[in-house]
């Protein structure tokens, strides 16, 4: 079942007088439950593509159909709602709120979807448990290791029952051991819960966890193959 | 849209994270609100004191003073020439329809003795109508009778200050005091009236019948003349016509030709006081306006800090947007932060204002009156300032691009 379909997506950034074409006709589709790596050198357009997939940005031209809905012309607030309901983000720099406990960080998406305080608590606890952080609920980000912070971020991405998790260099700031742990959590989520995972990376070791690798160059897909 | 309690909690948390800064931002509002309340309290205190003094003087009051002497080209000033007579007072009573009460006055300062105590005070010879002119109650004893005036009897009515100085705790009714060595029986006691608008102690007074004053205390070379005539008009509306009637009557009685100046002056005391009251109101408004400028400056302080805060928290805003915060979720969060700053500043400002106006009143001895109106006004004004100056930073925050906000270092 197709979850994501992009049709001839073009993204142009206007930098003063010059138009910069970050994406130049990207057409692809990703099924529900897939685990995809997106690779490519910097400037190849993979981050731009991720931003569009994550509904943080809109394509200049072309269509993006998410879960059967064309979201390419959605307004800011409509996109915010889609992000809230369907998409979980994991960033290289974790992007947790400072001075906010792990539990409250995980609660954040539910704050914006109007879940009651009590249910938020419960579900956030559950999500933290899923990533192996029970007992760290009241820790602040600066009291957690990089790997633990990234796990909090994963719990936050999971907690609103997102169907897609988009991870942008999720292991970029982590050591090998933590990277391995994170990728194992991803694999487990993908296999056990059937969550669609899209990971942007330039490390072949990380890409190896996925089952499909899409390579970008100069704003276009140059290869799309099964991982070995 | 997210619920308000959560938004408020988020806002309070981020304000707490920067306690010093939040406090300094609030300080602008605290000073503004405090100043507005203190200024209005001082202003309305002054006004209420004047109003109380006006009513203590008696309402609808006119005072007729005799004219000025001119001796060899030297004009001697009002009251130097005895031109008013008992007959004038009687004529005004009979012929001026707008006049309700007339009280002629023959007065002076005299030494008063009771037992081994003595006291110098103003002795006023007048008619029984004086207490009605001045709206002054006799709390014990009786007023003069017409027989007292006719017979020039040696009776007196005492003000509270005189009683305190001569009698202490003794009830003075029926006792005999000596005014300039002439024995007088105390027949009445006046209610306490306090200070006059010009700061005199109105209770330091003794009333005696006008005829007694003329014949036995302040013997005069001009028999039947009086120093002042006090008048009470029937109502505030007829003050002007009373003034006109009296002027016409006295000009006629004193045979003053059309080109000659009056040999008397009619003063509208109530009007003088009202002008003073009005100028106090203007002053109150002025003080309040100046104080509200500082409230606006405080608001600009809030805007300034909120703008800094938005820039500092760009990444936080990006994270919130990424997980699904909508435009108004972000906007509301910052507006509420500004509101919490301004309203709690307003609350502390109210307390500061009340405390400081009390301190001012006890140090400077000024009367202060804190009105609920001033408190409500400045509190809601601080709320409006919060929304007004908080909106722009909040608006700016809500329109950030999530991608750039997430990348912000």
Averaged pLDDT, groups of 10, chain A, 228 residues long: 92 88 93 94 91 93 93 92 94 91 94 90 94 92 94 95 93 93 94 93 90 94 87
Taking CA atoms, B230 is separated from B132, B220, B266, in Å, by: 11, 20, 10
Stronger pLDDT, B223 or B180, i.e. the higher one: B180
Judged by CB atoms closer than 8 Å, whether chains meet at B321 and A77 is answered as no
- B326 to chain A: which residues are within 8 Å by CB? 76-77, 80-81, 112
Question: Which residue matches tokens 């005492």?
Answer: B158
The confidence score (pLDDT) of residue B221 equals 62
Q: Is beta strand B99-114 parallel, antiparallel or unpaired with respect to B228-233?
A: antiparallel
Chain A residues 76-95 with CB within 8 Å of chain B: 76-77, 80-81, 83-85, 89, 91, 95
- Cβ-count burial A109-127 (b if 16+ within 10 Å, e if not): bbbbeebeeeebbebbbeb
pTM of the entire predicted model: 0.73
Q: Give the residue from chain A lying closest to B328, CA to CA.
A: A77
ipTM exceeding 0.85? yes
Strand order in the sheet with A35-39: A87-90, A164-168, A196-200, A35-39, A212-217, A220-226
Q: How far is A109 from chain B (nearest CA, A)?
A: 5
Contact B96, B232 (CB under 8 A): no
Residues of B with CB under 8 A from a CB of A: 1-3, 6, 10, 13, 17, 315-316, 318-327, 329, 402-403, 406
Give the pLDDT mean for B140-163: 90
Q: How far is A51 from chain B (nearest CA, A)?
A: 8
Q: How far apart are CA B252 and CA B202, in angstroms?
A: 34
Q: Give the residue from chain B lying closest to A166, CA to CA.
A: B322
Which of A56, A80, A114 lies at the smallest CB-CB distance from B403?
A56
Stronger pLDDT, B278 or B337, i.e. the higher one: B337
How would residue B78 be classed by pLDDT, with cut points 50, 70 and 90? low
Q: What are phi and psi of B272, to 5 degrees?
A: -60, -45
Give the pLDDT mean for B56-82: 69
- A76 to chain B: which residues are within 8 Å by CB? 326-327
Nearest to B385 by CA among B333, B324, B344, B327: B344
Query: What are the tens digits of pLDDT across the range B335-370?
Result: 999 999 999 999 999 999 999 999 988 888 778 888
Query: What are the tens digits of pLDDT across the range B197-246?
Result: 677 788 999 999 998 888 888 876 667 788 889 999 988 888 889 989 99
CA B302 to chain centre: 36
Judged by CB atoms closer than 8 Å, whether chains meet at B324 and A91 is answered as no
The confidence score (pLDDT) of residue B291 equals 84
Strand partners, A89: A166
Taking CA atoms, B372 is separated from A77, A145, B46, B352, B377, in Å, by: 43, 56, 17, 15, 8
The confidence score (pLDDT) of residue B254 equals 85
Give the pLDDT mean for B253-267: 82
- A109 to chain B: which residues are within 8 Å by CB? 323-324
The confidence score (pLDDT) of residue B14 equals 84
| CB atoms inside a 10 Å sphere around CB B194 | 12
Q: How far apart are CA A111 and CA A117, in angstroms?
A: 8
The confidence score (pLDDT) of residue A139 equals 94
Interface A-B: count of C-beta contacts within 8 A: 62
Which of B319, B324, B403 lies at the smallest CB-CB distance from A80?
B324
The confidence score (pLDDT) of residue B197 equals 67
Q: Give the residue from chain B lying closest to A162, CA to CA.
A: B323
Judged by CB atoms closer than 8 Å, whether chains meet at A108 and B316 is answered as no
- B321 to chain A: which residues are within 8 Å by CB? 56, 80
The confidence score (pLDDT) of residue A122 equals 95
- A56 to chain B: which residues are within 8 Å by CB? 321-322, 402-403, 406
Average pLDDT score over chain B = 86
Q: How far is A112 from chain B (nearest CA, A)?
A: 5
Q: How far apart are CA B335 and CA B309, in angstroms?
A: 12
How would residue B374 be classed by pLDDT, with cut points 50, 70 and 90? confident
| CB atoms inside a 10 Å sphere around CB B241 | 15
Judged by CB atoms closer than 8 Å, whether chains meet at A95 and B406 is answered as yes
Query: What are the tens digits of pLDDT across the range B279-293?
Result: 888 888 888 888 888
The confidence score (pLDDT) of residue A124 equals 95
Among B324, B325, B332, B399, most A C-beta atoms within 10 A, so best to mutate, is B324
* Residue B69 pLDDT exceeds 60: no
Nearest to B285 by CA among B117, B46, B107, B78: B46
Q: How far is B3 from chain A (nearest CA, A)?
A: 7
Nearest to B119 by CA among B174, B170, B178: B178
Contact A197, A89 (CB under 8 A): no
Among B322, B327, B401, B407, most A C-beta atoms within 10 A, so best to mutate, is B322
Among A15, A42, A56, A57, most B C-beta atoms within 10 A, so best to mutate, is A56
Question: Which residue matches tokens 């001697």?
Answer: B76
Residue ranges of alpha helices (H) inside chain A are 46-53, 76-86, 102-111, 117-130, 146-158, 176-193, 204-207
The confidence score (pLDDT) of residue A10 equals 94
Judged by CB atoms closer than 8 Å, whether chains meet at B322 and A89 is answered as yes
Q: How far apart are CA B80 and CA B70, in angstroms?
A: 9
The confidence score (pLDDT) of residue B81 equals 62
Crossing angle (nearest 10°) for helices B314-322 and B269-312: 70
Q: Which residues, 6 or more positions from B190, have their beta carbon under 8 angstroms from its beta carbon?
A: B131, B136, B137, B138, B139, B157, B158, B159, B160, B203, B205, B207
Q: How far is A228 from chain B (nearest CA, A)?
A: 33
Q: Please indicate if any CB of chain B lies within 8 Å of the CB of A120.
A: no
Q: Please indicate if any CB of chain B lies within 8 Å of the CB of A114.
A: yes
Q: Please indicate if any CB of chain B lies within 8 Å of the CB of A161.
A: no
- A100 to chain B: which residues are within 8 Å by CB? 13
Share of chain A above pLDDT 70, in %: 100
Q: How far apart are CA B144 and CA B140, in angstroms?
A: 13
- Lowest average pLDDT, out of A89-93, B157-161, B250-254, B302-306, goes to B250-254
Judged by CB atoms closer than 8 Å, whether chains meet at A112 and B403 is answered as no
- B2 to chain A: which residues are within 8 Å by CB? 111-112, 114
Judged by CB atoms closer than 8 Å, whether chains meet at A113 and B403 is answered as no
Q: How far apart are CA A100 and CA B19, in angstroms?
A: 16
Q: What are phi and psi of A132, to 5 degrees?
A: 75, 35
The confidence score (pLDDT) of residue B282 equals 87
Q: How far is B378 from chain A (nearest CA, A)?
A: 34
Q: How far apart are CA B99 and CA B91, in angstroms?
A: 11
Q: How far is B333 from chain A (nearest CA, A)?
A: 12
The confidence score (pLDDT) of residue B328 equals 92
Among A11, A52, A80, most B C-beta atoms within 10 A, so best to mutate, is A80
Domains of chain A: which residue ranges? Answer: 33-56+85-226
CA A141 to chain centre: 20
Give the pLDDT mean for B156-173: 90
CATH no. for A33-56+85-226: 3.40.50.300
CA B249, B254, B260, B266 dihedral sign is: negative
Q: How far apart are CA B367 and CA B41, in angstroms?
A: 8
Q: How far apart are CA B228 and CA B264, in angstroms?
A: 10
Nearest to B138 by CA among B175, B163, B112: B163
- B6 to chain A: which residues are within 8 Å by CB? 111, 117
B23 class by beta-carbon count within 10 Å (0-12 exposed, 13-18 middle, 19+ buried)? middle
């Amino acid at each position: 079942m197709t979850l994501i379909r992009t049709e001839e997506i073009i993204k142009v950034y206007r930098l003063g007088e010059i138009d910069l074409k970050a994406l130049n006709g990207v057409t692809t589709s990703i099924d529900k439950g897939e685990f995809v790596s997106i690779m490519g050198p910097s400037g190849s357009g993979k981050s731009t593509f991720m931003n569009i997939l994550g509904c943080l940005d809109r394509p200049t031209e072309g269509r993006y159909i998410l879960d059967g809905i064309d979201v390419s012309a959605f307004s800011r607030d409509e996109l915010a709602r889609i992000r809230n309901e369907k998409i979980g983000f994991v960033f290289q720099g974790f992007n947790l709120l400072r001075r906010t406990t792990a539990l409250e960080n995980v609660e954040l998406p539910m704050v914006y979807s109007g879940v009651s305080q009590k249910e938020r608590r419960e579900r956030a606890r559950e999500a933290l448990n899923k990533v192996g952080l029970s007992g760290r609920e009241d820790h602040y980000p600066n009291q957690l290791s990089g790997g633990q912070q990234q796990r909090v971020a994963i719990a936050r991405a999971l907690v609103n029952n997102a169907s897609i998790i988009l991870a942008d260099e999720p292991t970029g700031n982590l050591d090998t051991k933590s990277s391995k742990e994170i990728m194992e959590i991803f694999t487990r989520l993908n296999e056990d819960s059937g969550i669609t995972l899209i990971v942007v990376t330039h490390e072949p070791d990380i890409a190896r966890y996925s089952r499909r690798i899409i390579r970008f160059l100069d704003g276009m897909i140059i290869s799309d193959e099964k991982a070995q | 849209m997210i619920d308000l309690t959560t938004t408020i909690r988020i806002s309070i948390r981020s304000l707490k994270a920067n306690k010093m800064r939040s406090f300094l931002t609030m300080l602008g509002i605290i000073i503004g609100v405090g100043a507005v309340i203190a200024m209005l309290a001082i202003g309305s205190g002054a006004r209420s004191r004047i109003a109380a003094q006006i009513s203590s003087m008696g309402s609808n009051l006119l005072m007729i003073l005799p004219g000025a002497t001119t001796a060899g080209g030297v004009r001697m000033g009002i009251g130097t020439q005895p031109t008013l007579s008992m007959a004038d007072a009687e004529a005004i009573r009979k012929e001026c329809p707008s006049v309700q009460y007339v009280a002629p006055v023959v007065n002076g300062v005299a030494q008063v003795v009771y037992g081994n105590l003595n006291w110098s005070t103003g002795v006023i010879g007048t008619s029984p109508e004086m207490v009605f002119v001045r709206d002054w109650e006799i709390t014990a004893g009786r007023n003069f009778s017409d027989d007292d005036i006719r017979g020039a009897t040696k009776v007196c009515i005492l003000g509270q200050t005189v009683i305190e100085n001569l009698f202490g705790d003794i009830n003075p009714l029926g006792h005999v005091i000596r005014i300039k060595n002439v024995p007088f029986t105390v027949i009445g006691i006046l209610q306490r009236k306090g200070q006059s608008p010009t700061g005199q102690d109105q209770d330091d007074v003794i009333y005696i019948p006008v005829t007694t004053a003329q014949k036995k205390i302040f013997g005069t070379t001009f028999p039947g003349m009086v120093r002042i005539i006090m008048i009470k008009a029937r109502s505030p509306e007829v003050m002007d016509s009373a003034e006109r009637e009296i002027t016409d009557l006295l000009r006629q009685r004193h045979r003053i030709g059309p080109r000659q100046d009056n040999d008397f002056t009619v003063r509208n005391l109530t009007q003088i006081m009202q002008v003073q009251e009005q100028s106090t109101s203007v002053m109150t408004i002025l003080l309040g306006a100046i104080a509200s400028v500082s409230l606006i400056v405080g608001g600009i302080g809030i805007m300034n800090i909120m703008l800094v805060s938005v820039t500092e928290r760009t990444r936080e805003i990006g994270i919130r947007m990424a997980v699904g915060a909508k435009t108004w979720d972000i906007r509301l969060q910052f507006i509420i932060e500004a509101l919490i700053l301004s309203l709690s500043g307003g609350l502390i400002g109210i307390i500061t204002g009340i405390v400081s106006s009390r301190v001012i009143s006890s140090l400077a001895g000024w009367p202060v009156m804190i009105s609920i109106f001033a408190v409500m006004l400045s509190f809601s004004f601080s709320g409006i300032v919060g929304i007004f100056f908080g909106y722009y930073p909040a608006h700016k925050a809500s329109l950030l691009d999530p991608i750039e906000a997430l990348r912000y270092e």
